[in-house]
Amino acid sequence: MDFFYSVFQRELEFVDKLMGMASESSHPYEHKYKAREILNSLLQEERVKKSDEIARTAEAIIEYMLGVNHFETEEITESDKHYQKSLDLFSTISFQEQGRFINIFQDLLNSLGVLCCNRGENEKGLSYFIKSQELYLITKIFNTQTFSHNFHDFLTGTSGFHFIIDGGVNRCKIEQNYTLTLFYMAQEFAKLGEKEKSAMYCAETMKRQIESGDYDIKDWAINSINLAEYYVENGYLNQALYTLQCGMSIILQNKRKLKSTIHMQIGRCFLAFLEMGATLHKDKLSIPDRIYSQCVAFRGLRVQFPRISPAGNLEEAKELFKLANTSLKQALEYFIIDGYVTEHIEMKRNISSLYKYLCYFDENEGRVIAMLQRRIEILEEYTKDLNRQAYSQLWQHLMNEISSVYLDIYDIKSSQLRGKNKKNQEIYTKTNISALTSIEKQVELLEFVQKFELNDESAKDVIQSSLNLMFGIARTYTKLDHPEIEIKISYMESCYRWYERIQNYLTEVSEGKYGEEIKDIEEQMNICKEMCELMPIRISQISAELNSI
């Protein structure tokens, strides 16, 4: 029997066996190194060195296996060389011969793409994946069947056997390789910032995995969460909910953390329905079609595609509120504060947001104020107990949100005062408490922010946050009113001092190392200058009124 049907076949089967054998931890690559020796010795065989087509085919197969071998021993540069040489050799044989090695071609293109992407050459890597995708489309015209290259199958008469040198196309492997190609493309488009393409290829990968039954439950569920996040961000809310429900449908009962994570995301999905409804309601806009669009269907999973609409009135808003709240509370049963600080508090913030958007639909100001106070109750306890240094950003988010809610309460109560007896000092004093509490929170937050050292990484955020807070405090003081003129003047004087402080801060920072980090500095300076000129005049006018009484 010719060399390729005896020695070549036997040695490559032995190499395959060695590559799959487990080794001692002290010598992890012992069997792989032995396999490499055999492959290198085959390259030296006279029959392989000949330049005819079958010899070049044999050499290409050996180089491919050496590429796999070096990759598995973490010698990436050598692996790349062998893969590339294999691809070059295959390109020298006839198209008809190439067609019998489609499986290796797919592996080569996928492997070279991965190696390029691991080096940061994302566009070059993507070009290999695109070639692999094109190759898959060509294979659709082939009449192929699953086969084995194991010589034992040949001796026992197993159908579908091909000698390695004769090639042969494994249809099942083609489909598996193509699913990998799509998975890699999804990753690379994400790295290149092309989120729409990334989501499309991710969805197609997950769809094929479900249809083939070849997937890891945990990985698929996690990917459903990530894909749903994209759909929520881009307004495909029913598709997002469907994707999460599909992820939930495959999880085993004992996977509590995974199930709780999906409950959390489902809650946030219903929150997105409520938020969009509030926006549409406020701006009197119609519902965009994409909310109901189905981008992908995971056939094989018994999950019906939902058709939920954003809230259009208070009753619909309440229903979405309940759905979101239920899912978030289910997730909170697992993500308790002891051990899952960030997840727990972020979900509490989500629940606070549910009340925020419910307020848009309720015209009863008493109920709205009660919901705003509920938001404060939900969030305020965490600002006292949370480690500000360890959870700096989270604490700042909480303080900003609470300050904003106090100001919302003030705005409602202040509007209720219009037309009422302006001499009732007690009513004004009680109303102003909300605004003054908002200022207290902003001042506390400002003091915390300005303790950060200015450096190349922190300067932009610290400066911008400081300015936002100082302008917010000054503007809040301008809102305050009181029938007692002395108190009203004290509010105006506080406002004046804050605009002076902002002006000094802008001057100081603009003359320092990080002056370029200030946005719209000229406009902000003009605002401060104008207020610093007007406020003393206005204070003098009101003081004159007081003296004339």
**Residue of 297, 316, 294 whose CA lies nearest to 307:** 294
> For the chain, what are the domain ranges?
3-183, 450-549
Under DSSP, the state recorded for 299 is T
pLDDT of 517 reads 83
At the fourth CATH level, which superfamily is domain 3-183? Tetratricopeptide repeat domain (1.25.40.10)
pLDDT of 168 reads 84
d(CA 245, CA 234): 18
Cβ contacts of 531-540, under 8 Å, gap ≥ 24: 531/474, 531/495, 531/496, 531/499, 532/496, 532/499, 532/500, 532/503, 535/492, 535/495, 535/496, 535/499, 536/496, 538/492, 539/489, 539/492, 539/493, 539/496
d(CA 194, CA 188): 9
d(CA 58, CA 528): 79
pLDDT of 30 reads 93
pLDDT of 252 reads 84
Question: Which residues is 161 bridged to in the sheet?
Answer: 148
d(CA 29, CA 20): 11
pLDDT of 422 reads 63
Buried b (16+ CB within 10 A) or exposed e, 387-406: eeeebeebbbebbbbbbbbb
| 10-residue mean pLDDT series, the chain (549 residues) | 88 93 89 95 93 93 96 95 95 86 94 94 94 88 68 63 85 92 95 94 97 94 97 97 97 90 98 96 92 95 96 96 98 96 97 97 96 97 91 96 97 83 80 96 96 90 94 96 90 96 93 86 92 91 72
d(CA 239, CA 21): 44
Helix H, strand E, coil C: the string for 47-73 is HHHCCCHHHHHHHHHHHHHHHHHHHHC
3-state percent breakdown (helix, strand, coil) of the chain, nearest 5:
75, 0, 25
pLDDT of 157 reads 59
Q: Which amino acid makes up residue 471?
A: F
107 burial level (CB within 10 Å; 0-12, 13-18, 19+): buried
pLDDT of 58 reads 94
Mapped onto helix, strand or coil, the DSSP state of residue 159 is: coil
pLDDT of 203 reads 97
